[in-house]
Amino acid sequence: MSAADAQARLIELRRELAKHAYLYHSLDAPVISDGEYDALWRELLELERQYPQWRDAQSPSQNVGAAVRQDLATVAHQTPMLSLDNVFSVDEFRAFDLRVRERLGRSGDIHYICEPKLDGLAISLHYRGGRFLMAATRGDGVVGEDVSASLAALASVPAQLQGEELPHELEVRGEVLMPRAAFLRWNEQAQEEGRRVFANPRNAAAGSVRQLDAAIAAERGLEFFAYAIARCSAPLPDSQHAQLELCRRWGFQRAAHIAQGEGAAFCEQHYAALLAARDGLPYEIDGMVVKVDALSEQQVLGMMTRAPRWAVAWKFPAVEVETQLLAVDWQVGRTGALTPVAHLQPVSVGGVTVSRASLHNIDEIRRMDLHVGDQVLLYRAGDVIPKIARSLSQAVPAQRLPITLPESCPVCGAPVLRPVGEVVARCSGGLYCPAQRLEALTHFVSRKAMAIEGLGEKWLALLVEQGKIRHAADIYRLQRDSLLALDRMGDKLADKLLAAIAASKATTLPRFLYALGIRSVGESTARDLAMSFMSLDALMQAREEALLRVPDIGPVTAQWIVSFFSQPHHREIIDELLAVGVHWPQPQAQQTLAGTYVITGTLQSMSREQAREHLLRLGARVAGSVSAKTAALICGESPGSKKTQAERLGVAIWDEDTFLQLLRQSGASL
Q: Report d(CA 211, CA 429) in Å as an integer.
A: 37
Where are the strands (E) in 407-547, listed by range?
A: 416-417, 426-427
Q: Report d(CA 122, CA 126) in Å as an integer.
A: 14
Nearest 5 degrees, angle CA 516-CA 518-CA 521?
110
In this structure, the strands spanning 86-87 and 311-315 are parallel
**3-state SS class at 87:** strand
**3-state SS class at 396:** coil
Distances (CA, A) of 607 to 125, 600, 603: 45, 11, 6
C-alpha radius of gyration, the chain, whole number:
29
Cβ atoms of 380 and 349 within 8 Å: the answer is: yes
Cβ atoms of 612 and 598 within 8 Å: the answer is: no
The tally of CA atoms less than 13 A away on the side-chain side of residue 260 is 14
Residue 117 a catalytic site member: yes
Distances (CA, A) of 313 to 85, 136, 224, 287: 6, 22, 20, 7
Question: CB neighbours (10 Å) of residue 221?
Answer: 19
Cβ atoms of 75 and 55 within 8 Å: the answer is: no
Catalytic residue among 117, 468, 642, 643: 117
Distances (CA, A) of 215 to 180, 183, 210: 20, 16, 12
What residues pair up with 123 in beta bridges, in sequence order? Answer: 137, 174
- List the one residue out of 414, 466, 457 whose CA is nearest residue 435: 414
Catalytic residues: 117
